[in-house]
C-alpha cells in the first residue's frame, strides 16, 4: 500500500511560533465556542485527531477517556507536560491513515486545524469511519477555500486558483484548502451524515483585531457562526457529522489494534505492546504509546 504524504511536526516549535503571544486569542476562542456548541459536553471515549500540544484538551474534561492522537511525539510530550498527571488523558503517536485502535471504539471524534495537512482525505475518513462508534459524532474543522478573501482575490485576478471549484487546492506544499460541498460529499461517501455547518473566524483581520476588544469580536463571531447553515464565506468552517450507522461497536475491554494488521493488542509487556497477529512490537514509554513505527525485533 502506498502511504500518503505526511506533514511531519516532529520537533516543531508550533506552539510558540503560532500561538503563544502571537495575537490569535480571537481565533482560539471562536474555535472553542464552535466546538462547545457542536460537541456533546460529556461521554465515555473521545479522540482528537492531530491534537498537537493539546491546545483544546481542556474542552474534553467531561469525558472519561480522552485520546490525544498526533503524528508528532514531541508535541504530545508538550501536551503531557502541560496537562500534568490526569489518568483520563491517553497520549498516542501514529498516523491517521493507520489508526492503532479497534473498530467502533470512539463516541466522539474531533479534528481541528489539521485536515489541511491531509493529502488523502478519503483514506483519512475511511479510517475515522472504522474507529467511530455508531450513534456518536465527528466534529471536523476545515480551512475553507470558498472564503470571502479568496473570492475577492480571484475576482480581482490576484489569485490563480478558483475558490468555486469543488476540488481541494494545495496552495503551499502539504497545505490544502477545501470546498464545503466537497467535504460534505467525502463525509457522505465514508458513511458519515453531515449536519448544518458553523462558520468561524469571520473577523480574522489584523486591523479589526487591533481596533476591537477580543471578547467583542468573539461575541460577534458567535452570533455569525450559525449562518454557516446557509452560506460559508469564512476562512474556517466546522461541520458536525453523525457516525456511520453501519459501523460496529467495539467489544468491551478492547482498545488498541495493530496499525499494520488490525489484530487487537491485549498484552502490555515491558515498555511495549506485542501484536499476536504479525509480531510487531509497539513502544510505550513515560505514558506515551508510540505507533509511528514498530520497535526493532530483538536479536
Ligand atoms: C496545525 S497543527 C494543529 C494542532 C491542533 N489541532 C491545534 O489546533 O492546536 C496540525 C497537527 O496535525 C498533525 N498531523 C499532521 N499529519 C498527521 C497524520 N498523518 N496523522 C496524525 N497527525 C497528523 C501534526 O503533527 C500537527 O500536530
Q: How far is the CA of 197 from the centre of ligand 1 (A)?
A: 22
For position 267, what pLDDT does the model report? 61
pLDDT in tens, 261-283: 999 997 666 688 999 999 999 99
Position in ligand 1 atom list of the atom nearest CA 9: 25
Angle between helices 25-38 and 214-224 (to 10 degrees): 40
Among protein residues, the one whose CA lies closest to atom 9 of ligand 1: 55
Dihedral over Cα of 191, 192, 193, 197: its sign: negative
Outline which parts of the chain fall under CATH 3.40.50.150. Answer: 14-254
- For residue 182, report the distance from its CA to the centre of ligand 1, in Å: 21
Distance 52 CA to ligand 1 centre (A): 5
Q: What is the CATH number of domain 14-254?
A: 3.40.50.150
The one-character DSSP state at 79 is H
Q: What distance in Å separates the CA atoms of residue 160 and residue 140, rounded to the nearest whole number? A: 27
3-state secondary structure of 96: coil
> What does the pLDDT look like over 67-115, one tens digit per residue?
999 999 999 999 999 999 999 999 999 999 999 999 999 999 999 999 9
* Termini Cα distance of the chain: 28
Return the closest-CA partner of residue 109 out of 84, 94, 130, 93: 130
Q: In the chain, how long is the greatest CA-to-CA distance?
A: 64
Determine what percent of the chain is predicted with pLDDT higher than 90. Answer: 94
Q: Which atom of ligand 1 is nearest to the CA of 10?
A: 25
Minimal-distance CA residue to ligand 1 atom 11: 50
Kindly give the distance from the C-alpha atom of residue 75 to the centroid of ligand 1, in angstroms, as a whole number: 9
Cell of 112: 481541528
From 8, 39, 57, 70, the mutation candidate for ligand 1 (largest count of ligand atoms within 8 A of CB) is 70
242-257 tens-digit pLDDT:
999 987 899 999 999 9
Which atom number of ligand 1 is nearest to the Cα of residue 124?
19
User: What digits encode the pLDDT tens for the residues 9-52?
Assistant: 999 999 999 999 999 999 999 999 999 999 999 999 999 999 99
Contact 182, 197 (CB under 8 A): no
Contacts of 223 (CB under 8 A, 6+ apart): none
CA 49–ligand 1 middle distance (angstroms): 7
What is the signed CA dihedral for 15, 119, 242, 46, rounded to 10 degrees?
-40
Q: Residue for cell digits 493529502? A: 119
Q: Which uninterrupted H or E stretch holds 155?
A: helix 148-155
CA 76 to ligand 1 center in whole angstroms = 10
Task: Report the C-alpha gap between 178 and 211 in whole angstroms.
Answer: 30
Rg, Å, the chain Cα set = 19
Whole-number Å distance between alpha carbons of 286 and 291: 14
Nearest CA to ligand 1 atom 10: 114
Give the model's pLDDT for residue 58: 96
* Phi, then psi, of 108 in degrees rounded to 5: -125, 135
Number of the ligand 1 atom closest to the C-alpha atom of 18: 1
Q: How much is the mean pLDDT over the chain?
A: 95
Contact criterion met (CB below 8 Å) for 259 and 294:
no
215 vs 194: CA distance, rounded Å: 30
DSSP bridge partners of 172: 175
Pocket of ligand 1 (CB under 6 A): 6-7, 9, 14, 50-52, 55, 70-72, 75, 95-96, 112-114, 117
- List, for residues 187-196, the tens digit of each pLDDT value: 999 999 999 9
- Residue 136 pairs with which residues in a beta bridge? none
Q: What is the pLDDT of residues 158-186, one digit of tens each?
A: 999 999 999 999 999 999 999 999 999 99
What was the pLDDT predicted at 39?
A: 98
CA–centroid distance, residue 51 to ligand 1 (Å): 6
Give the Å distance between the CA of 280 and the centre of ligand 1: 25
Helix 121-131 / helix 180-189 crossing angle, nearest 10 deg: 50
Å from CA of 155 to ligand 1 middle: 32
Q: Supply the pTM of this predicted model.
A: 0.97
**3-state DSSP call for residue 167?**
coil
Amino acid at each position: 500500500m502506498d502511504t500518503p504524504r505526511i506533514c511531519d511536526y516532529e520537533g516543531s516549535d508550533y506552539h510558540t511560533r503560532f500561538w503563544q503571544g502571537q495575537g490569535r486569542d480571537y481565533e482560539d476562542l471562536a474555535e472553542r465556542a464552535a466546538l462547545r456548541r457542536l460537541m456533546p459536553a460529556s461521554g465515555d471515549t473521545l479522540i482528537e485527531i492531530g491534537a498537537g500540544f493539546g491546545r483544546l484538551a481542556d474542552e474534553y474534561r467531561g469525558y472519561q477517556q480522552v485520546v490525544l492522537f498526533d503524528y508528532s511525539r514531541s508535541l504530545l510530550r508538550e501536551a503531557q507536560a502541560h496537562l500534568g498527571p490526569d489518568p483520563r488523558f491517553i497520549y498516542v503517536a501514529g498516523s491517521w491513515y493507520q489508526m492503532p485502535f479497534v473498530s467502533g471504539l470512539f463516541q466522539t471524534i474531533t479534528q481541528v486545524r489539521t485536515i489541511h495537512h491531509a493529502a488523502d482525505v478519503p483514506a483519512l475518513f475511511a479510517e475515522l469511519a472504522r474507529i467511530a462508534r455508531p450513534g456518536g459524532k465527528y466534529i471536523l474543522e476545515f480551512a475553507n477555500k470558498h472564503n470571502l478573501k479568496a473570492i475577492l482575490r480571484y475576482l480581482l485576478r490576484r489569485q490563480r486558483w478558483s475558490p468555486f471549484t469543488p476540488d481541494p487546492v494545495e496552495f503551499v506544499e502539504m497545505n490544502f484548502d477545501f470546498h464545503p460541498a466537497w467535504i460534505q460529499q467525502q463525509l457522505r461517501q465514508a458513511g458519515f451524515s453531515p449536519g448544518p455547518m458553523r462558520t468561524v473566524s469571520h473577523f480574522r483581520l489584523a486591523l479589526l483585531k487591533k481596533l476591537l476588544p477580543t471578547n467583542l469580536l468573539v461575541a460577534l463571531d458567535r452570533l455569525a457562526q450559525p449562518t454557516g447553515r446557509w452560506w460559508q464565506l469564512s476562512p474556517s468552517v466546522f461541520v458536525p457529522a453523525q457516525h456511520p450507522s453501519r459501523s460496529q461497536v467495539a467489544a468491551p475491554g478492547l482498545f488498541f489494534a495493530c496499525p499494520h494488521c488490525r489484530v487487537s493488542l491485549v498484552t502490555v509487556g515491558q515498555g511495549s505492546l506485542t501484536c499476536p497477529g504479525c509480531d510487531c512490537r509497539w513502544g510505550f514509554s513515560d505514558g506515551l504509546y508510540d505507533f509511528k513505527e514498530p520497535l526493532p525485533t530483538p536479536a
